[in-house]
Amino acid sequence: MTATRPERQFDVVIIGGGNAGISAAARLIRQGIEDVAIVEPNAVHTYRPLLSYVGGGQASLTQAERTQRSVTPAGASWIRDAVVAVEPSAHRVRCESGAVVGYRDLVVAPGLVPDTDALPGLDAALDTPGVTSNYLDRAARTWELVRTLAPGSRVVFTVPRAPVSCTGTTIKPLFLAAAHWRRRGILDTLDLALVVDRPDLIGVRELDDALRSRLAALNVRVWDDSTVTALHPDVQAVTVTAEGSEHRLPYDLLHLVPPFRGPRWIETSGLAAAPHGLVDIDPGTLRHRAFDDIWSAGDAAAVATDPSGGALRRQIAVLADNIAAARAGAALREYDGYTVAPIATDAHRLIPAEFDRSGALSSALPSFLDPLRPRRSAWAFDRYVLPRVYWNLLLRGRL
C-alpha cells in the first residue's frame, strides 16, 4: 500500500480537468479565488464535440486536442493524479499516488466512465475489426471504417441509456456517415440499424419527430427501448434485448456508444445518487444534498437534464456564483436545466436542438425561424465557431 504523502491544502479543489473543471477553475480565479487546484491525470485535453466531425471526416484529431498544461488557467495548480476517494468529513481528497489534498470547497467534475459491468467484453471488442466509437477515443478509426466500408455492408449504431454526454451526439455519427455513403453512391446498398436504449431519441417530442423522419428517409431500422446486452466480436454481432426477447444483429461496422456511469469512487465516497453513480446534487443550485462544501456539474452530476457542453456554460456560471454566495451567506442562484444537443442531420446541415429539463424547446433563434429546421449556418457555427469559443473564451472563464 502506498504511504500517505503530506497533505496539501487549497481553497478550492476541482476533480477533473475537462470542460467543466477547467472552465470552473478559470471562472473562480476571475472572481478572485486564487488558491485553486485541478486534479486530472491526463496530459491531453480534448474538445470532445469535435470528435463527431473527426469521425465524419470533417476534422482532424489534432484540431480537437491541446496539452492539459496549456489549458490550465494561470494561477491554478495542476495536480497530475487520479482520485481514488473523497473524505467529506475530513475535507480531503485521496489520490492514486498516495497524495492527500485538502479543500475548503470541492468541485466534482470527473466526467463519466464506461460501465463495463453493464456490458462485459467492451474493451476486448474495441480491438476487433469493424468496431469503433467516437465516445471511446477512436474517432479517427471511425472515419477510416466509414471511408472504406464496402457496398452491401451491415452497419449498427447504438444509443445507450442515460447517463451519456450529449445524447444528440450519439446520433450524429450515423447522419455524418450516411452523408458520406450517399456521396460515394453506396447508401442504398447498406443495411443500417440504430439501437436506442431508451423510449425516445432525445426526449423532446418535436425534435424526436424531426429526427425519426430523417432516419426513415435514410431507411434506418430503429430499435426503440432496446439494450445491447452482449458483444460477439468473433462473429461480428451484438445481442439486443427488447421487451424480454433477444435478437442478434450482425455487423460489418459497429459504432458502439456503451453505457456509462460515474467513477466508482463517487459511490464509495458517499457522494452518489442512484442510479449509475452520479453525484447527488440539488439540480438547481448544483450543491451536494448532504455536504454543503461539495459542488458538481457536467456529465457526472445529477443535473436532471441531458448533459452537454452547451449546458455546462450555464452550469459553471451558476456553480461559481453559488460558491461565492454560500461563503457570503447570500441566496443561491438556480440552474434552469437548459441544454443543447446539436445534431448534424447531413454533411453540412445541423439542428441546434436547445431545450430545458422539462423537454420544452428553448431556442436562441429569432421566433420567426423554425428551430427544428437543419441549417447550414448552424453546422458552420458548430463546426468552426464553437471550437474557437471553447478554446479562447469558455476555458478562460470569459463566457
Q: Residue 365: what pLDDT?
A: 55
State whether 58 and 156 are in the same domain: no
Question: Of 259 and 2, which is predicted with more confidence?
Answer: 259
Residue that finishes a domain, picked among 258, 292, 311: 258
pLDDT digits (tens, 9 = 90+) for 366-377: 554 677 899 999
pLDDT digits (tens, 9 = 90+) for 225-241: 999 999 999 999 999 99
Question: Of 309 and 208, which is predicted with more confidence?
Answer: 208
Residue 223 has pLDDT above 70, yes or no: yes
- Structural domains counted in the chain: 2
Q: What angle do CA 387, 160, 16 make, to 5 degrees?
A: 50
Residue 202 lies in a domain: yes
Nearest-angstrom CA–CA distance, 344 and 169: 9
Predicted TM-score (pTM) of this structure = 0.95
Residue that finishes a domain, picked among 217, 239, 258: 258
In sequence order, what DSSP letters do the residues of 302-355 get, joined into one string?
Answer: --SS---HHHHHHHHHHHHHHHHHHHHTPPPP-----EE--EEEETTEEE--EE
Residue 23 has pLDDT above 60, yes or no: yes
Contact 321, 313 (CB under 8 A): no
Q: Which of 293, 332, 328, 315 is nearest to 106 (CA)?
A: 293
Domain that holds residue 213: 115-258
State whether 244 and 309 are in the same domain: no
Q: Residue 363: what pLDDT?
A: 64
State whether 156 and 251 are in the same domain: yes
Residue 322 lies in a domain: yes
Question: For every residue of 79-136, which 3-state class applies, written as one string?
Answer: ECCCEEEEEHHHCEEEECCCCEEEEEEEEECCCCEECCCCCCCHHHHHCCCCEECHHH
Mean pLDDT of the 160-179 span: 95
Residue that finishes a domain, picked among 237, 258, 279: 258
State whether 245 and 271 are in the same domain: no
25: domain CATH number is: 3.50.50.60
Residue 361 lies in a domain: no
pLDDT digits (tens, 9 = 90+) for 37-65: 999 999 999 999 999 999 999 999 999 99
Nearest-angstrom CA–CA distance, 228 and 226: 7
